[in-house]
Amino acid sequence: MTHRPPDLMHPVRWSDWFRTVFTLALAVALMGEAIHVHRSFHGAPHWLWTSVVWLFVVAFVAVGNFAVRLEALLIGKLVTARRGIASGAIVRLVATGLGFVVLLFGVFASFGLSVQRLLITAGVAGIIVGIAAQQSLANIFASLVLLFARPFHVGDDIVVRSGALGVVEGQVRGIGLTYVTLRTKEGTLKVPNSAMLASGIGRNAPPPAPPTDA
């Protein structure tokens, strides 16, 4: 049995763009129809317009779920082609999360709920969650900064200088959403991304070649 490469390693084709744009446009159209029915069919029997709204919402969720996965995969492929599969996987995960948040707001709007009030509620909830999960969110945002700044790559031998960590030398084995994995002389070390971002990072130079006899 042959080993298939991960989805992110596949090249981006025109069919990927077409499917993504088509499903996104279809999802937006279904949401618009659901909102239109909710606002315009109040003269009809309640069970009728409610059933029609639910029909459009279910179709919107089904198509929207597919569209979110397609757009996240497309963005992940584009990032992978330029910055590697580790970066592509992080961006794909973030794009998927943001896409489902937008999908959720679309469902609320389809039922006539005030998006402005939902945004205010979401903002307050976001502040509370941000305070409660400050360290985790700091690691996630730090991973995005490391992704685009690229102070090191997987496989690099680096030196990390930090007040909390001291001086750590090791090889980068992985860059995740919350941790950077280093292989040191003492073993595997997982360093939080926020700590890596706040540290001084240098690359170990290869040892000089031995002199050759003339």
pLDDT digit string (tens) for the chain, length 214 residues = 344 446 777 888 898 899 999 999 999 998 888 888 777 766 666 667 778 888 888 999 999 999 999 999 999 888 888 777 777 888 888 889 889 988 888 888 887 776 677 677 767 776 776 666 667 777 778 877 887 778 888 888 888 887 777 788 888 888 877 888 888 888 888 888 888 888 888 876 655 555 565 4
Q: Sheet containing 200-203: give its strands across.
A: 187-192, 179-184, 166-175, 157-162, 200-203
Each domain of the chain, given as residue ranges in start order, spans: 7-132, 151-203
The CATH class given to the 151-203 domain equals: mainly beta
Residues 6+ apart with CB under 8 A from 85: 6, 8, 9
- What pTM, to 2 d.p., does this model score? 0.66
